[in-house]
Amino acid sequence: MGPIGIFDSGYGGLTVFKEISHTLPQYDYIYFGDNARVPYGTRSYDTVYHYTMECVNHLFDLGCHLVILACNTASAKALRTIQQKDLPKRTDLRNVLGVIRPTTEIIDRFTISNHVGILATSGTVNSASYVLEIHKFFPQIKVYQEACPMWVPLVENNEMDSPGARYFVKQHIDRLLQQSTEIDAVILACTHYPLLLPTIKEFMPKGVQVISQGSIVAKSLADYLYRHKEIEALCTKNGARQFFTTESVENFKEKASIFYGLPVEAAQFDLIHKIP
């Protein structure tokens, strides 16, 4: 038995973890941020897969039987390969889930016009994962994408309320909505973006619903654990939280509290020398 693992390339997954730990507070969790190698969004499929699998294996070594990729880029570029290639080779019961499917499989609840927008990193947009997943469930929905490469650096540098943030948020919302006047729902397909939500809502026209992933992923995880008793039985329940980072602990603690909403204590994990 062991905790539930939450993985992200950086800090954004903490916005998802915050919702998960609020919805399911009884479980033990380990959050692992590969902050030393962020960003993943601009890297190749092979590199993202290699990095993600390395971190997932670390969480497996720490006793996690279930790992959530709380990262859209990792979910888009690595999850399918991990599920189809790596997990079947294991003799023990392990699973890895992502953040894309929970949102896409219920997107019809948020749109009347069947025109949906995606705001995401360049890596997620180029993967077309949201387009493919939405069309798998709802082929009638038209999907429009806009890459927002400046949004993550703005959030990570705590510039959410700056004039620069307002400029780039408006710029990309305008570009997305120019693709269709019928868009009535927009998915924030990056876990950093909820921290820009007040500014996003300011520039998003009334009648367009903005969808954050955190609460959706948390509810989906609760449903998964209810339906998969064999995995749920392997998840320990002491309400414990642990945080690991591949970067400086002090840097992580300072920025992580912005995303998680609470102070965190963390330990460094060296992926090269495997020294916790």
Per the annotation, binding residues are 8-9, 40-41, 72-73, 191-192
| Alpha carbons 199 and 195: distance in angstroms, whole number | 9
Name beta bridge partners: 6. Answer: 31, 68
Which residue among the candidates 55, 148, 190, 235 is catalytic per the annotation? Answer: 190
CB neighbour list of residue 241: distance below 8 Å, 6 or more residues apart: 21, 28, 29, 31, 264
| Alpha carbons 58 and 60: distance in angstroms, whole number | 5
Instruction: State yes or no: is 71 an active-site residue.
Output: yes
| Alpha carbons 156 and 69: distance in angstroms, whole number | 19
Instruction: State yes or no: is 190 an active-site residue.
Output: yes
Other Cβ atoms closer than 10 A to 105 = 16
Query: Are the C-beta atoms of 28 and 235 separated by less than 8 Å?
Result: yes
Which residue among the candidates 55, 64, 71, 148 is catalytic per the annotation? Answer: 71
Q: Which residues are known binding-site members for substrate?
A: 8-9, 40-41, 72-73, 191-192
Which residues are catalytic, by number?
71, 190
